[in-house]
Amino acid sequence: MGRASSSSDASAAKQQRVRAWFAEVSDALVSVFFPSGCRICDRLLTSASRVPLCEECLSSFERVPGVICEICGRPLPGWKKEPDQPVLCPACQDRTYAFDRARSFAVYENAVVRAILLLKFEQIEPLGSWFAHRLAEAVNSEADWLAADVVVPVPLHRERERERGYNQAALVSKPLANRLRLPHKSVLLVRTRARPDKQVLSLEERWESVRGAFATRPGSQVDNLRVLLVDDVLTTGATLDACARALREAGAKSVVGLTVARALRNPLPDTREW
Ligand SMILES: [Zn+2]
Ligand SMILES: [Zn+2]
């Protein structure tokens, strides 16, 4: 894809500065006229930010720790990195996911769980942008292998999205694409089969419920694309895997999964099933 000319880059940068200034001014006005409490701990919000969470709650989000599986991003506490040895969790030693790698910003615990619920059920866009900023930092720190052409949110089933009115993954993927200056393709992937109504799914049911549940939209250009696939939470990796499979089948060159949070307490999948 061709790069924009430098003069339009300059005017885009100017526009962005003006927009940033307006955003700052209007944030300040909002906090003056509508003082409110943190949506997690109820502490009065003092900073001029549209994110309805206090600094204490935001900084309490536990980042995914240092040593992680190079493929799936699973934290591996207590593991030591041997020189010239890839760090792979037991699941990734046995199987290959359809995605190339996955990374997450924070551990799915405590305040992060509450924040994801706010994103999921209250459509708090500034929080989505805040998470997107954190994911952009992660992408930029591993720029060598995270190079991508498009950003794609994990889709909801059409009926689910109609009920909810939005897709929470897109609340993060859209501002992420803006930050990375990449096209955002929210309709490239579709979910063709809805998640079962049952609230709690076993590990096997999770994998079963998403197998073949995604497809690329007929007529969309996927060939040779490097895709950043975005979701709110990575639990077993089954959803990212099913999406990545559909993208790879349509010709995608690589798929990297990025999620806001990573559940740690899920057991390792039973590799015999694969
Ligand atoms: Zn708080
Ligand atoms: Zn792994």
* Residue 273 confidence class, pLDDT cut points 50, 70, 90: very low
45 alpha carbon to ligand 1 midpoint, in Å? 8
Which ligand lies nearest the alpha carbon of 87? 2
86 alpha carbon to ligand 2 midpoint, in Å? 11
Q: Within 10 Å of residue 58's Cβ, how many Cβ atoms? A: 18
* 78-116 confidence digits (pLDDT tens): 888 888 888 998 888 887 899 999 999 999 999 999 999
Distance between CA atoms of 97 and 108, rounded to whole angstroms? 21
pLDDT at 232 over 70: yes
State both tokens at 51. 């994110």
Angstrom distances, CA of residue 219 to CA of 25, 150, 171, 199, 226: 43, 16, 25, 34, 18
pTM as predicted: 0.82
Q: Is 174 exposed, middle or buried (0-12, 13-18, 19+ CB in 10 A)?
A: buried
177 alpha carbon to ligand 1 midpoint, in Å? 28
Which ligand lies nearest the alpha carbon of 89? 2
Helix axes 111-122, 125-141, angle to 10 degrees: 120
Distance between CA atoms of 1 and 224, rounded to whole angstroms? 12
Which ligand lies nearest the alpha carbon of 72? 2
* 144-173 confidence digits (pLDDT tens): 667 899 999 999 999 999 999 999 999 999
52 alpha carbon to ligand 1 midpoint, in Å? 8
In CATH, what number does 62-273 get? 3.40.50.2020
Q: Write down the domain spans for the chain.
A: 6-56, 62-273
* 127-139 confidence digits (pLDDT tens): 999 999 999 988 8
Distance between CA atoms of 97 and 14, rounded to whole angstroms? 42
13 alpha carbon to ligand 2 midpoint, in Å? 39
Which ligand lies nearest the alpha carbon of 96? 2
Which ligand lies nearest the alpha carbon of 97? 2
56 alpha carbon to ligand 1 midpoint, in Å? 6
Q: Provide φ and ψ at 93, rounded to 5°.
A: -70, -30
Q: Nearest-CA neighbor of 179 among 147, 227, 139, 222?
A: 139
Distance between CA atoms of 27 and 23, rounded to whole angstroms? 6
